[in-house]
């Protein structure tokens, strides 16, 4: 019996070390991106605000924007039903780079009842983002502390761009907000 445990121990250890999350099937990816794109995506030009971004007039814009995003990792907690995502898109750069967002959400039917963008990475080459994104994603799912990877704590190594000391994600507004004065406030569209 003792020897059987010694033989099984490496296999049990390996099973515990498996990466958390997987790539969802195509239908689940499309459906999930469609449900979150108005939060994770940029506002449409010409008249869109956070107050009216769900208007049908912007459906075509958001449908197109969803095709520019992909879900790199997906995990649903078996006990709570909470969903964790690592969503990426190509970022503006001279070389091909991507930026990823770690998301924690809860659903009730087709409605999102809780939405939190836990972190957003710096833009990185695909291989680097895959490695760092997977590590950050696993820590997020496990509820581990991500502050060592925030820009003010990570030294010269870039992991998380946001949150930082001035910018955090507001789960009530479901968007990133800046603390203090916003130097661009006067140029932002007003809500009506």
Domain that holds residue 62: 21-174+182-187
Inside any domain, residue 7: no
* The pLDDT of residue 1: 46
Mean pLDDT in residue range 158-163: 97
Inside any domain, residue 192: no
Categorize the per-residue pLDDT at 179 as very low, low, confident or very high, splitting at 50, 70 and 90: confident
Inside any domain, residue 13: no
Inside any domain, residue 56: yes
User: pTM for the full model?
Assistant: 0.83
Inside any domain, residue 72: yes
Inside any domain, residue 11: no
What does the alpha-carbon distance between residue 104 and residue 114 come to, in Å, rounded to a whole number?
Answer: 8
Give yes or no for residue 190 having a pLDDT over 60. Answer: no
Count of domains for the chain? 1
Q: Extract long-range pairs of 77-81: CB within 8 Å, 24+ residues apart.
A: 77/141, 80/106, 81/106, 81/107
- Residues 18-45 have pLDDT tens digits of 457 898 989 999 999 999 999 999 999 9
Helices 59-66 and 26-40: crossing angle, nearest 10°? 120
């Amino acid at each position: 019996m003792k020897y059987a445990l010694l033989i099984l121990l490496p296999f049990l250890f390996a099973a515990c070390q498996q990466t958390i999350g997987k790539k969802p099937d195509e239908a689940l990816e499309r459906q999930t991106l469609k449900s979150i794109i108005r939060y994770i995506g940029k506002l449409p030009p010409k008249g869109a605000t956070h107050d009216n971004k769900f208007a049908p007039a912007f459906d075509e814009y958001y449908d197109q924007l969803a095709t520019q995003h992909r879900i790199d990792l997906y995990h649903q907690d078996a006990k709570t039903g909470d969903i964790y995502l690592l969503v990426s898109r190509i970022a503006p750069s001279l070389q091909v780079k991507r930026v990823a967002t770690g998301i924690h959400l809860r659903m009730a039917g087709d409605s999102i009842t809780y939405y939190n963008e836990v972190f957003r990475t710096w833009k990185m080459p695909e291989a680097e983002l895959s490695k760092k994104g997977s590590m950050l994603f696993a820590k997020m799912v496990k509820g581990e502390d991500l502050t060592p990877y925030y820009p003010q704590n990570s030294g010269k190594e870039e992991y998380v761009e946001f949150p930082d000391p001035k910018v955090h994600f507001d789960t009530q507004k479901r968007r990133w907000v800046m603390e203090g004065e916003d130097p661009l406030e006067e140029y932002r569209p007003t809500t009506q």
